[in-house]
Chain A
């Protein structure tokens, strides 16, 4: 019975859709009436509509079949029916049809007397035109931009904007017309003119600033234009580092008092998104958002609470004033608004309200979209950092969420959150691991399963009862895909290496894995089996706990090179550039954003890119692999004539200094640019590679090659005084055409320092203890220092890390609160490929006392480190 109803329902409804069963061929057949005389506008109109409908449903018209029908369509321009004209233009915009006839007819419409035709004709024409044709209609376009009919002017402006991508040089010539249009009385023309002007000038800071000054003073009528101005102003503010003590900020703030809500919200949002806003600067923005929270319009409430959520991430105290308004929103029928309100309250509220809010949110968490579930998880993650004592409540909540349905991003957020709780709170480790074990029993996401297995391998062996994890891990070997099985084998090996009493059983399990159907799993099992059977701590440390530390793309390239040039020598692992440790990103919370859509791929590290760039320069090819590249160092003040920054590249026996220079003067062309360097120590500059030419605002690089002192390996620091030398050719700022001859000139840069950190590459040792034993105490040295000027342990830790440029291990860069002693573990590789490990015991009492113990496989390295610390 029910089925019958359904089908009759379907028939009824399909009967009511005149376009339901359109056949492309039939429609094209019908289109022949376009050729009939006299033209019947009503029927033609109907057929045109059918064609658009088909195009809109995704129907594709082949070139030959379309040409005929569309060519006939051009006859319809002879008709006087308004809709007919307009619709043809609509077809054109979707089908990108191009023919002389169309071009001619549209040009006629565009310049004709009938105003209704003109706007659409311009838009359609620009859609099908190319750069050469555009020049043919340039005169008309200029006239149209300043036409007194708003729809014509708007159409011309917007079309010009679309054309900028393709024909920047042509459209650029219409700036004056656009300028004139900007003072139009019509609000849309104003907005479109502003948009086009900004787009044409956005690379010219000065022009943008001028334009902004003019419009903020004259005042615009269009709220859209105001929003645009606010965005331009905040972008300019963002680029000028420094305070918000500027007319631009005042302008944005004044927009908070605009009478249009759209403008007010735009201004508030702009202020909230500014980096380094003070609480005082935020206050007026927060109070308008607070008002919006009680708006009857859902979109406005949503916008307000989303922006407040943003504020709460950095300035929770600024939002506490809105707590009452937010409380009213937690039962909002729009679940997105409710979720945002609750997660905001979680950030601003007190510890006591956490339980209540969590309960509220769990009542509807299943109704909200994955994007917002992720927001909830991130709020919990932030909360755990703020109130560590609440971690058991949170953990419970998270494990329930983990059991619910949800997509990959959502699950990943939960897993990441649990992992960070485990890392922050040692006492939650066992419960957390137990939840994760349960999760991988039924987990469809390979990435998450391998991640958790890796974590189990790292943390599990060091728990009081490691044996209970073995079962979960081995289940994976039996049940899962190859990638997960391989990860499980690696995790098992870590248990065997750490726990002697588990070793026999692990070996038995390994033996079974050696019969796996996948070769990667078999290879891993065989490898670990053999390493484990040696029962040597050093081997375990090097091959099981702390894996390879080379860059994978680098290794691939080196191996390829090795196979191309066969040699007697075995492949040297030290010739491979090291992997730069991923910079641990500061934990940022992401409000609902689009990041989830991007496919994840292995991004090449910055250093791999440098390696490739430098290898392309013949002079640097004999230097060996790139060991380390520093962060860029600014050698000029901001906003000077030339902007120069330097990246220091360290090789085994040399350093290459890469100077990235930008010429900010539009009336100069610089040529043969070099940076001359005068070293203070026994460093020797052996080669300069100039940048051949530096036109206005196009960055270029020049290089200096320096040999490090061979005889004194302890000379790790040096100061260079730098001068940029070049040939200046004055040029016409408008055309960029340079004069025939030039003159030599120079420009003094700031001094450049090379320090011990430039010689050490960071390496993460996941198991520092094992690595410490592996290096051994053959060259161990120890010394005690007093850091009199340092007041806190945190500060001391930060200083040591940045001074030595080494990688903190075992999360020892985080000093627990209320402690007056701390141990910092640092790992790195010294230039030349020697592992170096530092253990620094810090004690706080009237300044900080530091006992530094250094181990390395090479004695001089130990000396260098201690000498430079002293």
Chain B
């Protein structure tokens, strides 16, 4: 029953995950050890959430007894999961902070390839926003300062022109096939 009031606690977020647009996991963190303890259950849950949410950009859903807020960008889906009784706006503030911080370190290229190329930064950002389910920081500026991460530290010359072209080609192909 959800009439039982929420036990006051800092543990707000049950899970966070980022999926690509086939529903594959790129990053996920489960903070409540009782929620989907096995990898199989986790991936099932992610699959189920993805199926129910990837078609319509609705921002919020309720699945398997949990409130899920989400956001998509090009070929990426970001999810924040909390209990049914959780304040939806708190979950939203986590989602927004994550998205804005990532958007900044990825220099506004919030898409799969760029995310994967800067995976270390992504891991660090998530760790600075949530620690064990507790919201550690909700201000993107603060997060960026703590992570101190810059995408593409190496100058462009180091990256071969062919590589850039290849990456561009793929992106174009991808957008056509979509």
Contacts and interface: CB of A to CB of B under 8 A. Distances in A.
A123 B146 CA distance: 14
Contacts of B146: 116, 119, 151
A83 B124 contact: yes
Interface in B1-29: 1-3, 5-10, 22, 25, 27-29
Interface string A1-36: 000010001001101111100000000000000000
Most buried by A among B6, B113, B147, B174: B6
B65 interface: yes
B100 interface: no
Contacts of A261: 89
Nearest to A150: B142
B137 A299 contact: no
Nearest to B2: A593
A752 B170 CA distance: 82
A158 B134 CA distance: 7
Contacts of A274: 5
Given A154-B137, A591-B2, A593-B1, A336 B61 contact: yes
B136 A188 contact: yes
B63 A333 contact: no
A191 B90 CA distance: 13
Contact of A12 (B61, B62, B173): B173
Interface stretch (A228-236, A495-503, A546-554, A561-569): A228-236
A825 B146 CA distance: 72
A302 interface: yes
A224 B89 contact: no
Interface stretch (A134-142, A192-200, A388-396): A192-200
Interface of A is mostly: helix
A594 B123 contact: no
A620 interface: no
Contacts of A154: 136-137
Contact of B134 (A195, A265, A372): A195
Contact of B28 (A16, A56, A162): A56
Contacts of B89: 261-262, 265, 299-300, 303
Interface in B56-99: 56, 58-66, 69, 83-84, 87-93
B58 A224 contact: no
B176 to A, nearest CB: 10
Contact of B8 (A120, A228, A334): A228
B3 A273 contact: yes
A334 B170 contact: no
A359 interface: no
B164 interface: no
Interface string A61-104: 00000000000000000000011001101100100000000000
Nearest to B171: A16
Given A57-B25, A90-B123, A303 B58 contact: no
A13 B175 CA distance: 11
A334 B127 contact: no
A16 B69 contact: no
B173 to A, nearest CB: 6
A299 B88 contact: yes
A155 B120 contact: no
B8 A93 contact: no
B103 interface: no
Contacts of B149: 83
B147 A86 contact: yes
Nearest to A93: B127
A595 B65 contact: yes
A336 B123 contact: no
Contacts of A188: 135-138, 142
A719 interface: no
Given A90-B123, A198-B8, A334-B58, A227 B148 contact: no
Given A235-B7, A238-B5, A9 B177 contact: yes
Contacts of A730: none
B116 A16 contact: yes
B116 A90 contact: no
A83 B120 CA distance: 8
Nearest to B28: A56
B107 interface: no
B119 A231 contact: no
Interface stretch (A45-53, A318-326, A627-635): A45-53
A18 B116 contact: yes
B65 A596 contact: yes
A155 B174 contact: no
Nearest to B88: A303
B108 interface: no
Interface in A514-546: none
B8 A371 contact: no
A86 B124 contact: yes
B152 interface: no
A335 B66 CA distance: 16
Contacts of B43: 58
Given A15-B170, A199-B9, A594 B83 contact: yes
A270 interface: yes
Contact of A56 (B22, B27, B84, B87): B27
B112 to A, nearest CB: 7
A82 B128 CA distance: 14
A46 B148 CA distance: 17
A16 B1 contact: no
B136 A58 contact: no
B135 A224 contact: yes
Interface in A302-348: 302-303, 310, 333-336
A123 B129 CA distance: 13
Interface string A156-190: 00110110000000000000000000000000100
A56 B29 CA distance: 8
Given A19-B119, A228-B8, A262-B89, A116 B2 contact: no
A593 B120 contact: no
A119 B148 CA distance: 13
A238 B60 CA distance: 30
A231 B142 CA distance: 27
Nearest to B93: A262
Contacts of B65: 371, 592-597
Given A265-B87, A334-B59, A82 B148 contact: yes
B63 A371 contact: yes
14 contacts: A13-B22, A17-B113, A224-B90, A224-B138, A227-B90, A231-B6, A235-B5, A235-B7, A235-B8, A265-B89, A299-B69, A302-B88, A336-B61, A592-B65
Given A83-B148, A231-B8, A336-B62, 6 more contacts: A16-B170, A18-B116, A151-B146, A192-B10, A227-B87, A371-B64
**Top 4 closest A-B pairs, CB basis?**
A594-B65, A195-B10, A58-B39, A298-B59
